Amino acid sequence: MLGVELVVALLAEPNNVDSQTYHLPKVEHWVAQGDLQLWATAIHRQVTIPPGAEYLLLHLRLLTGGDALYNLVQWLAGVGCLLIVTRIVAQFGGGRRAQLIAAFVAGTTPMVVLQATSTQTDLVAAAWTGCVATLALDGLRRQASIGTVLALGAATGLTALTKTSGLLGAGPLLVLWGLAQLRLAGWLRRPGAVLRTGAASLAILAVAGVVVGPFLARITDEFGHPLGPPRLRESIPMQRHDPAAVFVNRLRVGHTALDTPLAPLRAGTAAAIVAVAEAIGVDPQDPEITFHRTEFPVPAWYPDEDRVAFPLAGGLALVAGVLALARPRLVAPAAPGAVRAYAAAVGAALLLYFAMIKWQPWGNRLLLFCVILAVPLVGLWLDALFRRRADGGPDGSRPGDSGGRRSVATVAAVAVLATAALSGVLAVSYGFPRRLVGAGSVFTTDPWDTRFLRRPHWAADFRWAAEEVRRADAHRIGLVQQNVTWEYPLWLVLPEHDIVSLQSVLPNRPPADPASVDAIVCLGERDDCTELVPDGWAVRYQGYVGVATPPS
């Protein structure tokens, strides 16, 4: 699977929607201006969304001069996630088979498969969160050294710098680490242990602050808040936290994450969730718990990198998590207390997600860090089903009639793993928007057209705009766009030009004066373009893109 994904990652051009809008334009602005400072733009996500993954892309951009290797960042993050998963299994006493099962379940999860060839950032965030997890688990058995404290701080800072939602997973794990350190230090007998653990915790936060601090300082200086402008703080985080609203949000998030191709099942469960929400006095489409202009439910079973559900991995993780809490010896006989504590931390992360993040159609990818944290429990549990002992079951029970039940469970586990393999193969073969076979295959599609598989009719529009700009002999290009328009293709067709924005949502970064540019390129809505084009300029449109030039 990893080898096939590597082929796709190397052959396919970056074509993720968010990457066209803000991930990759962010890199081009840094290269153009020669520093990491903010810039005037109409797309606030270019400057307000944490840039950790894009910093990695920036190095590849400067070293190679292009984006040919961009997909490798997420592919390597996926490899890192599998290594982290196996290490966590080993930390609970899981052997080679348990580690391979966990890596297999994680590696065949469709969201992991599709993100591994993308320029999205969710796998990178999951990898850093996983680093926090495995380092924190080291602290369950031994007191932390200075090196461990520094590593935990760096992993926490990199998580925050890549995707803020990852902190919902890192936080409970750091609490688990702190409690374990207090226990190992004998804090009831040694009062100084509390001071030592407190100092180590502050050091972790300090190191994390060094990593993410410069970005937060820039955002705070610009918007007066470390989390950015109000529109960002109100669009993704939950604005209601009463139990009923959180409960409804949990039902909707779970429904989308565990979606299957069975349309009657999807419709029936969605109708039941809507009925429950109305019965307890919660509007299931309330904008305070639902992302702006979206509506529950949406189909999420199909292999699309932004939406694809994970019913197998998610369902297995839920079962393994409940078992780890209720009967931990069934999951990790060698470390029942540790696995129960870890399952509680992962459960706390999931509950925090339900309470903090609004339901949204593409929320499954935001949950990816929870999947990576929970899959080790799946590997331990399924390995226990396969284990055969002469003296009884995996929990130490006596042999007898339970042998038949264990055989049935083993057959069921094999069937589940086979289904997981099939779903992974289908995702890498037919997944959208990068696939091996069918329409849009990386082997048969023109590289430029690959970038526009989401919007194929725009491919010619950007090339036409570049020809118009060159015909006008323009160098400084003014850009007019909206918050969700595709800016990145413009940097590709006009690589030697100076591109500046004629709009700005940043209070302290005024836009460029239309009179200071040689030509204007308009993306999307034409009304915005009309307001900014100087009188007397000729405006021509081809589909999605317009070009305005001064009188000859």
pLDDT one-digit tens code per residue, 192-224: 778 899 999 999 999 999 999 999 999 999 999
Read off the pLDDT band of 416 (50, 70, 90): confident
**Mean pLDDT across the chain:** 94
Looking only at the bridges linking them, the beta strands covering 545-549 and 476-480 are unpaired
| Count of all residues that appear for the chain in the document | 552
pLDDT of 267-277, one tens digit each? 999 999 999 99
In this predicted structure, what is the pLDDT of residue 301? 95
Residue type at 326? A
In this predicted structure, what is the pLDDT of residue 194? 86
Task: Collect all residues with Cβ–Cβ distance below 8 Å to 310 and sequence separation of at least 6.
Answer: 109, 110, 111, 257, 258, 364, 371
Looking only at the bridges linking them, the beta strands covering 498-501 and 519-523 are unpaired
Looking only at the bridges linking them, the beta strands covering 545-549 and 519-523 are antiparallel
Task: Collect all residues with Cβ–Cβ distance below 8 Å to 403 and sequence separation of at least 6.
Answer: none
| Residue 429: burial class (beta carbons within 10 Å; 0-12, 13-18, 19+) | middle
Q: Give backbone dihedrals phi and psi of 39, rounded to 5 degrees, phi first.
A: -145, 160
pLDDT of 484 > 60? The answer is yes
Output the pTM of the full model: 0.94
pLDDT of 399 > 80? The answer is no
Here the tokens at position 487 are 């800016």
pLDDT of 47-99, one tens digit each? 999 999 999 999 999 999 999 999 999 999 999 999 999 999 999 999 999 99
In this predicted structure, what is the pLDDT of residue 408? 73
In this predicted structure, what is the pLDDT of residue 199? 94
pLDDT of 108 > 80? The answer is yes
